[in-house]
Amino acid sequence: MSTLVTVIVSVLALTAAFLLLAFWLLVRGARRLRTRLSRRVFAVLGAHRRWSAPLPPARSRVVTLQAWLPGRARPVAALRRDLHRDVHGAVRAVEVGLEAGRPVRPLAAIGTRLQRTAFDLDVDLAVIAAEPDLTRRRALLDEQADRIQALRHACAQVRRGVLLAGSATTGPLLPVVMGDINDEVVRLDLWAKAHRELQGG
């Protein structure tokens, strides 16, 4: 009898141990799967967020700090900060216009293109800021002057378009402004393509 009890207890103990091991493996596998899925989701969201502004929030704070601190990177950092504010202001203006019910939906797509252009430009400016030779750095900045001016002008035109869309008297001018904005964006696209070709990309 005692032998039978011992066998039963041993079988129950082994079964319990097996169930605990299976449960532990299941939890561990679920955690690994959740981690992998989270990384993929965050990677996708990060790639999407990259185009939502020329500078991610963390890098924006760093650039703002560099723009105030003395050093060789200060002038370029100040320019990057100002461009970030221009693009952010243009995009925010469109968002406010949409929330107010203004007919500015076409500007949203243009804002997305401006964000992409601004991101590419910010990367180039970050590379220029790392150039140790002052003369070479100034020359590289001069090469980007037209590109920078075109981007800032396009952002100003987007903001102007939102304002015009809210005015009954100047509303008919919106198509004209839209045409100007499209011309600026096309110019930026052509500049970016030529720039990449010169870099061998």
Cβ neighbours of 50 (radius 10 Å): 14
What is the per-residue pLDDT for 137? Answer: 87
67: tokens are 């723009």
pLDDT tens digits for range 98-149: 888 888 888 888 888 888 888 888 888 888 888 888 888 889 888 888 888 8
What is the number of residues in the chain? 201
What is the per-residue pLDDT for 43? Answer: 42
pLDDT tens digits for range 37-64: 444 433 433 433 443 456 555 566 667 6
* Helices 134-143, 145-165: crossing angle, 10 deg rounding: 40
Task: Give which of 159, 58, 56, 181 is closest to 113, Cα–Cα.
Answer: 181
Q: Residues near 52 by Cβ (< 8 Å), separated by ≥ 6?
A: 115
Task: Give which of 176, 178, 115, 126 is closest to 151, Cα–Cα.
Answer: 115
Number of H helices, E strands in the chain: 7, 0
